[in-house]
Structure 1
Amino acid sequence: MRTAKTSVPIRRPAAVFVLLLAALVFAAIVVAIQSSSFFIGSRKSLIDSEEIRILSDFQSRVQQCVASRGLGLTADIIDHCKLVLKFPEGTNSTWYNAQFKIFEPLEYKYDVCEAILLWEQYRNMTTVLTREYLDVRPDGWLDYAAKRIAQLGADKCYNRSICEEHLNLILPAKPPFHPQQFRTCAVVGNSGDLLKTEFGLEIDGHDAVFRDNEAPVNEKYAKHVGLKRDFRLVVRGAARNMVAILDGSSDEVLIIKSVTHRDFNAKIKELPNPVYLFQGIVLRRGAKGTGMKSIELALSMCDIVDIYGFTVDPGYTEWTRYFSTPRKGHNPLQGRAYYQLLECLGVIRIHSPMRARRKQDWSDVPGKEIITSAHMAALRLKREKTGQEGDLGPFGNCKVWGTVDRDGPVSGSPDMADARSKSNYSKWELLPHESLRKEAQKHYAQMGRVSLYKMDGNKLDDLVCVRHSF
């Protein structure tokens, strides 16, 4: 018995049409992808070209500024980001590096794009260690807090209460100082060059004055360094003499640069002065020392930073202090070159003996609009190079986010009641935002009530960002 076969008619024209349609769709997709890639590539190329043009123009402005203000320094442009600052032939290179057995070189290469990103970031940052930073930072209490306490006897805070006992004296709940809190600030170094000037009244005319270590402030040096005392950044060795350094001043805020120490704590309890820890930032740059850290501190709360007493004029042969005998110091040529770069990036304004004899005109320093444009161009190029996307604002480098919904305790301890009754802690830690200058209030609102802190390390990225909900 045969089984009947059912024949199915083949519709060849329809099948061919489907195949052709599918092929056409696939070809269209391929062309679209290629066109899109071409468009994106062309657009990226146009963006890169525009950023490079902006930065190249900025480099030319920096070059002109160095030529005008550098007292012999010149800038050779390598590309849109890199340049070399050169000292004139015959400059006396007196600093000898025993490790590499060479004298201090007469030229220094800098990446202007990296520099402008770094220093503009400082304008939004908090540079005082706070409780909220340790609370928000991953393992902030376990790992990081231990690094800020000398003689802890352990590399980690396994017993948090012991670490809190060490740090509470100098650990405010939230930032005591704010970006743009002051309009003009003077950072006064300790160079012996100050004795060649009479900047005292000019220094005292600033909204806030920053000094460092044991630098004396008295009538003997008043015409050279002024008498106004607001902030003092001290290294660990100088902090041992904090009572003598403050010499009866109850207004000067003391900020310890490195670590707290149990020997300090007893002295802190006796002082009416607010005492804090500098939020440790380790970044490689072209100048070292407490003076540079004082500039970082000032930039985080001042619109304009004027520096005095930094050895930045040619012709000196040794590192000196205005209040003591000459001593071996930091490599001065490298410092002088870097400070000049910072002035031409609009970060600081330099005042020195040679500059005191001429009218100070800042028209040859790039203005805020030009600096902002260069900063955004450098940021876009950096993000394209590293494949980063998204926010180009101040929060683009926030690696860690946290939220604080209450004020918390002020720094100090209950047994400081008598000292606190005469102190200015409340001037800073309990200061309502409504009493800040309008520019600081506006900045705080624009930042969405967020405080930025730097993670330690040598990178521009990786910020700890704390949002205040109150």
Structure 2
Amino acid sequence: MTRPPYKASSSASSTKRPAFLHLLCAAAIFSLLVFGIQSSLFTGTRKLGINKEEIRILSDFQSTVQQCVASKGLGLTAHIIDHCKLILKFPEGTNSTWYNEQFKIFEPLEYSYDVCEAILLWEQYRNMTTVLTREYLDARPDGWLEYAAKRIAQLGADKCYNRSLCEEHLSLLLPAKPPFHPRQFERCAVVGNSGDLLKTEFGREIDSHDAVIRDNEAPVNEKYAKYVGLKRDFRLVVRGAARNMVPILNGSAVFWSSAGSPIRHSMIMDDEVLIIKSLTHRTFNAMIKSIPNPVYLFQGIVLRRGAKGTGMKSIELALSMCDIVDIYGFTVDPGYTEWTRYFSTPRKGHNPLQGRAYYQLLECLGVIRIHSPMRAKRKQDWSDVPSRETISRAHAAALRLKRGQNDQAGGLGQFDSCKVWGNPDGSGPISGSPDMSIVRKHSNYSKWEVMPFESLRKEAQDYYKQMQGVTLYKMDGNKLEDLVCVRHSLKSEA
């Protein structure tokens, strides 16, 4: 029997149409997914292409640093891990003499560093102010209530609930705005206190600098003139050294004669600026009121770096106002066994190997130039240190790479790191108080605070204009983005 031809029912037909629509939708979604993946891959490739260029620049810079360490490191070697990280190693057989009581170990013979972070930090210091000012406290949200209290010893409270009382403590050494400016000096010498200075005669060379920075109670007299020089411009002081400052400052001054020998002349060294490293307190305030010297408070930041001590803070201070920073009297040569000072008996000091490695890294990053006994025996050649142009390229690459990693837009250019902005309403008072001694009232200690813009060297004026009159201050911690930025008007007074 012949069957009739098959005829689809209306219900079967209606079932087939939705299935077709589902397939069509699935195909559309798949196409969109493929397009999205392709777009993502294309964008990722573009980003990777940009990063490749930054990585190439930084890798080349790492190679330059490696060559510099090989040439100037006196046995240290640099081992590159990637475009940012490297390890500095001491030669086999180096005597590790410093014992870490906390971890019960001797100093290791190798140290890891992130060159990208280091170059970002230290190039930032070239653009910053390292002296505490009234405008910083005014601009910072917790400036007067909380931060000011941290800089005053013997306050009796953890916060400045009484602002007038806190201002009374700080007014002696609190300028309205920065007394010193980036690139104010071309060449600066930072003179440490190491006994290694007695193995050299750097005195005349140190005094040839535009400014000389010294630490704590380090004496400057004819006894040590040929070793440490006679020039006295800045002195970074920890509060424990306050009781020794007056005899040092009021002692006899010494000058070089035309024949090249030191001669004594009795006078008060009222031009030597004191920068207090940590806190101000009653002992310091009483001293400040009786001396003519300018005195300011270092806006010190605790950073977890590879070296410690007042010497490192002196380098930070110098870098914030000098183009070239030469260091003397830092123990950076092989064979160090104990911390000696050129004017006193040996005593327990800092971790020498870690410090030596970090200072060598800083030299090969173009931050400092090291002068020491072993280096004095050969001609100093800085051609193996990266040029300013090379450093600038590496800094720009590290900054772009960091902003890419943090997904930052980078719309503010050179002010991208400003977390807080301030706009001072006036110049404000110079530092001082009504009960100062006659000596201080009639001294020229305020000259730094009222310095005319036209008296700055051209490089400092140009920098000020390039920064659009903005002053940068570091906030607490390691974050490069945590800056307080204060904008001044571009007028004739700096």
Deviation at 1:405, TM superposition (A): 3.0
Structure 1 gap ranges (5+): 1-21
Counterpart code for 2:356: R
Deviations 1:40-62 (CA, angstroms, capped at 9, x unpaired): 21211001111111111000000
Q: Does 1:423 align with 2:443?
A: yes
Separation in structure 2 between the aligned mates of residue 104 and residue 422 of structure 1, nearest angstrom: 52
Q: Residue in 2 aligned with 1:262? A: 282
The equivalent residue for 1:304 is: 324
Q: Which of residues 67, 70, 73 is equivalent to 2:70?
A: 67
**Runs of 4+ with >6 A deviation:** 22-32
Change (3 A) 1:94 1:23: closer
Deviation at 1:411, TM superposition (A): 0.4
> Distance in 1 between the 2:388 and 2:36 partners?
41
What is the CA–CA distance in structure 1 between the aligned matches of 2:296 and 2:69, rounded to whole Å? 37
CA displacement 1:207-253 (0-9 Å, x = unmatched): 00000000000000000000000000011101232212323311100
Letter in 1 for 2:385: V
Amino acid at match of 1:66: V
Does residue 55 in structure 1 map to residue 75 in structure 2? no
Bigger radius of gyration = 2
In 1, the alpha carbon distance for the partners of 2:412 and 2:307 equals: 28
* Aligned-CA RMSD value: 1.9
Q: Which amino acid aligns with 2:393?
A: S
User: Which amino acid counterpart does residue 128 of structure 2 have in structure 1?
Assistant: M
Distance 2:27 2:139 in 1: 56
Question: TM-score normalized by structure 1?
Answer: 0.92
> Does 1:369 find its partner at 2:389?
yes
Q: Give the superposition deviation at 1:30.
A: 7.4
Instruction: Measure, in 2, the Cα distance between the counterparts of 1:391 and 1:198.
Output: 51
Aligned partner of 1:337 among 350, 357, 366: 357
Structure 1 partner of 2:9: none
Post-superposition Cα deviations, 1:236-283, rounded to whole Å, max 9, x if no partner, equal: 101232212323311100000000001211110111000000002111
Mapping for residues 153-164 of structure 1, pairs under 5 Å: 153-164=156-167
Matches of 1:467 and 1:419 in 2, distance apart? Answer: 35
Q: Write out aligned runs for 1:67-146 (5 A).
A: 67-146=70-149
> SS in structure 2 opposite 1:109?
strand
1:413 aligns with 2:411: no
Distance in 1, matches of 2:31 and 2:427, equals: 60
Q: Residue 444 of structure 1 aligns to which amino acid in structure 2?
A: Y
Deviation at 1:404, TM superposition (A): 1.2
Amino acid in the other structure paired with 1:440 = A
Q: Contact between 1:380 and 1:392, CA under 8 Å: does it hold in 2? A: no
Deviation at 1:386, TM superposition (A): 1.3
For the 8 Å contact 1:149–1:260, the answer to whether it is kept is yes
* Identical columns (%): 81
Tell me, in whole angstroms, the C-alpha distance in 1 between the residues paired with 2:334 and 2:27. Answer: 74
**Cα gap change, 1:424 to 1:24, in 2 (>3 Å):** farther
8 Å Cα contact 1:454/1:462 also seen in 2: yes
Equivalenced residue count is 449
Contact 1:121 1:394 in 2 (8 A): no
Contact residue 271 and residue 445 of structure 2 kept, 8 A: no
Equivalent pair of 1:124/1:394 in contact (CA under 8 Å): no
Is the CA contact (8 Å cut-off) linking 1:211 and 1:231 kept in structure 2? yes
Q: Determine the structure 2 residue equivalent to 1:194.
A: 197
Distance 1:102 1:425, change over 3 A: same
Q: What does residue range 174-323 of structure 1 map to in structure 2 within 5 Å?
A: 174-247=177-250, 248-323=268-343
Q: Report SS of the residue matched to 1:211.
A: strand
Alpha-carbon contact 2:202-2:228 (below 8 Å) kept: yes
2:45 and 2:289 mapped to 1: Cα distance? 64
Alpha-carbon contact 2:190-2:325 (below 8 Å) kept:
yes
Equivalent position amino acid for 2:71 in 1: S
Q: Distance in 1 between matches of 2:411 and 2:427?
A: 29
Letter in 2 for 1:265: N
CA deviations 1:337-363 (Å, max 9, x no partner) are 000000000000000000111111100
TM-score by length of 2: 0.88
Structure 2: distance between partners of 1:350 and 1:393: 33
C-alpha offsets along residues 1-41 of structure 1, whole Å, 9 cap, x if unaligned? xxxxxxxxxxxxxxxxxxxxx99999998787655534321
AA aligned opposite 1:55: L
Q: Confirm or deny: 8 A CA contact 1:306 1:351 kept in the other structure.
A: yes
